Chains A and B, each alone.
Chain A
Amino acid sequence: MEEKFKITSVVSVCNNRIWLNGQLAFECKEPDTARFLLSAFQNLKVTYPKFYKMDGLSKLGWVATEYLLKDKPGFTLNDNYSAGMVLANKNASLDADLKYYQTVASIPSPALFVYTLPNIVMGEISIRHKLKGENAFFIQEEFDADFIAQYVQGLLNNNILQSCICGWVDLLNEDYKAVLMRVEKNGEGVEFTSQNMLTYF
């Protein structure tokens, strides 16, 4: 018999606002995405120099996860291998790809090149939160809740993971959106179903 899992926390980042579990957690009126993400980072009051070097997609995912786990610092402390991540987006790493391509005409930038894969955002999040469990990144035209729910449930049902961060993180030029959820075997929240996931989009 399959277990029931819970969505224990949800963060949403779009339109210059960050919502955490339905509450407005941060808002600013910066004129562009880069400055909004920088302000959101500075609002966290953490020292993390690597943030400045990340591409936009990684900054978006990093900031979203920071808010998502803000009230749960012990999310991964018991067993880092039991916490994983399943993310998806539409534009892969196209934002970084285009910026890197602009440098190819002169001298290609190594610092931009390392971000020309969408799953690098998961690497940055994993380093920050010491997540060592299974992870996967999917490219989808739009968020496929049925697919993601089935995939995450499989990981949890088979005890590959005990908890998972899953959702959508997409950025291209000035368009961005992140909706990340914390899904856990033990915890309080709404039931983890594709229908419930879609209510956060």
Chain B
Amino acid sequence: MVMEKLMEDLKTQIVEQLNLQDVKPGDIGNDDPLFNEGLGLDSIDALELIVLLQQHYNIKLLNAEEGPKVFYSVRSMAEYITTHQKANP
């Protein structure tokens, strides 16, 4: 349930942070790819997602190589947030 709520929050935050005016949070599937064939995000959007993690969840992505895995989908972002919030409560 907590995970579901987190994913719904993330969808709203992604739409707002990335100014995706043609996309509604409900249009984004939990497992849809955010880049390439999914939402079609670009490299600047990736930087904005890093800012989003820092602003809303106080989590810094220290290893850039983790980016593609962390930002693959809303679920992978939520899992990363859950893991790191437990590690740094």
Chain A interface residues toward B at CB < 8 A: 47, 49, 52-53, 106-107, 109-111, 114
Query: Once the chains are docked, how many angstroms separate the CA of A107 from the CA of B18?
Result: 15
- Indicate whether A110 sits within 8 Å of B44 (C-beta atoms), given known contacts A52-B19, A52-B21: yes
In order of increasing CB-CB distance, the 4 nearest A-B pairs are A110-B47, A52-B21, A52-B19, A107-B51
Number of interface residues of B (CB under 8 A): 13
Q: A49-B21, A49-B40, A107-B51 are in contact. List 7 more A-B contacts (CB 8 A).
A: A52-B19, A53-B18, A53-B19, A53-B44, A107-B55, A110-B51, A111-B47
Listed by A's residue number, 19 A-B pairs whose Cβ atoms lie within 8 Å are A49-B20, A49-B21, A49-B22, A49-B40, A52-B21, A52-B22, A53-B18, A53-B19, A53-B44, A106-B55, A107-B51, A107-B54, A109-B48, A109-B51, A110-B44, A110-B47, A110-B48, A111-B47, A114-B44
Q: Which residues of A contact B48 (CB under 8 A)?
A: 109-111
Within 8 A of A (CB), among B18-77: 18-22, 40, 44-45, 47-48, 51, 54-55
- Indicate whether A52 sits within 8 Å of B20 (C-beta atoms), given known contacts A110-B44, A111-B44, A114-B44: yes
Query: Once the chains are docked, how many angstroms separate the CA of A53 from the CA of B18?
Result: 7
Q: Which residues of B contact A53 (CB under 8 A)?
A: 18-19, 44
The distance from the CB of B66 to the nearest CB of chain A, in whole angstroms, is 18
Q: Which residues of B contact A47 (CB under 8 A)?
A: 22
The distance from the CB of A23 to the nearest CB of chain B, in whole angstroms, is 29
Q: Which residues of A contact B45 (CB under 8 A)?
A: 111
Closest to A48 in B: B22
Closest to A54 in B: B19
Q: Which residues of A contact B18 (CB under 8 A)?
A: 53, 111
Q: Which residues of B contact A110 (CB under 8 A)?
A: 44, 47-48, 51
The distance from the CB of A96 to the nearest CB of chain B, in whole angstroms, is 14
The distance from the CB of A141 to the nearest CB of chain B, in whole angstroms, is 32
Query: Once the chains are docked, how many angstroms separate the CA of A53 from the CA of B22?
Result: 12
Q: Which residues of A contact B54 (CB under 8 A)?
A: 107
Closest to A51 in B: B21
Query: Once the chains are docked, how many angstroms separate the CA of A111 from the CA of B17?
Result: 9
The distance from the CB of A10 to the nearest CB of chain B, in whole angstroms, is 30
Q: Mark B7-24, 1 if CB is under 8 A from A, else 0.
A: 000000000001111100
The distance from the CB of B49 to the nearest CB of chain A, in whole angstroms, is 10
Query: Once the chains are docked, how many angstroms separate the CA of A107 from the CA of B48?
Result: 10
Closest to A50 in B: B42
The distance from the CB of B77 to the nearest CB of chain A, in whole angstroms, is 17
Closest to B22 in A: A49
Q: Which residues of B contact A114 (CB under 8 A)?
A: 44
